[in-house]
């Protein structure tokens, strides 16, 4: 983890069995949320790995009445709330995704 004063962001790095993941999030808002981007590798067919980036949002557990962890499908009661937080990552200037 790195928290440099200059950037205003927090960098979280994991390395498991040589597989790196980098999460870059804006420093905590007053309400406790952090928004940013995760970069990792997408596992494809066989041994095909493709670099991928996606929005990420960390929200305090106390902000959700009955939190859901892991994969959240469209029929989950928290789906829309979590989707709103992910949208905030891209609609506000927490992370920019260039058109392809």
Indicate the domain borders of the chain: 9-91
Residue pLDDT, tens place only, 19-29: 889 999 998 77
Per-position DSSP letters for the chain, written without gaps between them: -B--TTT-EEEEEEEETTEEEEEEEEPPPTTS-EEEEEEEEEE-STT-EEEEEEEEEE--GGGSSS---S---TTSTTHHHHHHHHHHHHHTTT------
With a pLDDT cut of 70, the percent of the chain lying above it is 100
| Predicted pLDDT at 65 | 93
Residue pLDDT, tens place only, 45-80: 878 888 999 999 999 999 999 999 999 999 999 999
pTM for this entry: 0.82
């Amino acid at each position: 983890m790195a928290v440099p004063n200059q950037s205003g962001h927090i960098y979280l790095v994991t390395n498991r069995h040589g597989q790196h993941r980098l999460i870059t999030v804006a420093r905590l808002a007053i309400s406790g949320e952090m928004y940013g981007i995760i970069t990792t590798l997408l596992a494809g067919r066989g041994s095909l790995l493709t670099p991928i980036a996606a929005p990420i949002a960390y929200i305090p557990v106390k902000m959700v009445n009955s939190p859901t962890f892991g994969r959240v499908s469209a029929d989950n009661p928290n789906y829309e709330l979590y989707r709103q937080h992910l949208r905030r990552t891209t609609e506000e200037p927490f992370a920019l995704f260039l058109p392809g």
